[in-house]
Structure 1
């Protein structure tokens, strides 16, 4: 396959053909994290932390000994503090072969309830040179073989 050095990232109405508009849906995708296909991952351009919720961590069969301790709390709405159980680094893959990227992501593992298994944060998306569209519910990113994409679940 030919390599593309600097592909242009564009969105069109065709990208939104499977959606019912207007919508205000959360941008939720599936990713490959480690050896696990993870569903219900929130793409959050406003978050500064990659979060992995403890129930998903347990389902992945990762031992607690892989957690690196941390004592930096996350502060939520109303000043509520949540202390992570630790940090774990996982190899994350998004997109479909050959237009995919695989990068290590450092997740804070948090033991609290959520409708999601994980949250991908803005700095991670920036590191991937990803462009998100909440209208289209797609994230697109450059790869060696053109523009890759990850659509909503």
Structure 2
């Protein structure tokens, strides 16, 4: 077995070595990229490049107040903690618990046992050919795409929006995963330290 090569310490004022290679981001799903191979390639080119223009684009004025977190928001928790950000939401007529909020996921995921418990007919599934790739390199082919109406929080400070999920048939500690598409659509701000999600409402 080859022994790992020891790296010689860099002398002061010596030019740093160039990187050995690139480690790209992990993406998957249809919500951002689309289901076709061409659409996914286009999406990858966009997220892996930075384009500069001569003028700074004007930002749309936001009527919503700024969203932030205070130390008192975390007082109900035991610190230190390394808990995941897990919430409960209303999906249709059901309260769905153990929903993981994952800023790093490029897709919303719904697990098949939840779909069965909700009694939704499989005819509502839209076929997809966009596989998901996990950290171990395992490819998971979704059973389809389904759109569900989601309500978060209590009236009157609540939002109700349609959420597009990729449905997968595999074991998980969670019932669903809310990823970047939904968090961005809701203008949601998350804090893993406070274990809290905040978003503007009417």
CA deviation string 1:85-137 (max 9, x = no partner): 11100011111211111111000010000000000001210111100010000
1:17 aligns with 2:75: yes
1:108 aligns with 2:145: no
Separation in 2, partners of 1:78, 1:139: 29
1:77 aligns with 2:135: yes
> Which has the larger Rg?
2
1:98 aligns with 2:164: no
Post-superposition, which runs of at least 4 consecutive aligned residues in structure 1 deviate over 3 A? none
> Which structure carries more relative contact order (alpha carbon 8 Å, separation 6+)?
1
Instruction: Specify every segment of 5 or more residues in structure 2 that has no aligned partner in the other structure, as ranges.
Output: 1-62
TM-score, normalised by the number of residues in structure 1: 0.89
* Alignment-derived partner of residue 192 in structure 2: 134
Separation in 1, partners of 2:179, 2:68: 21
The alignment covers a number of residue pairs equal to 140
- Higher strand fraction (1 or 2): 1
Alignment of 1:35-50 (within 5 A): 35-50=93-108
CA RMSD of aligned residues (A): 0.9
Separation in 2, partners of 1:6, 1:105: 22
Instruction: Specify every segment of 5 or more residues in structure 1 that has no aligned partner in the other structure, as ranges.
Output: 145-153
Q: Match for 2:176 among 94, 106, 118?
A: 118
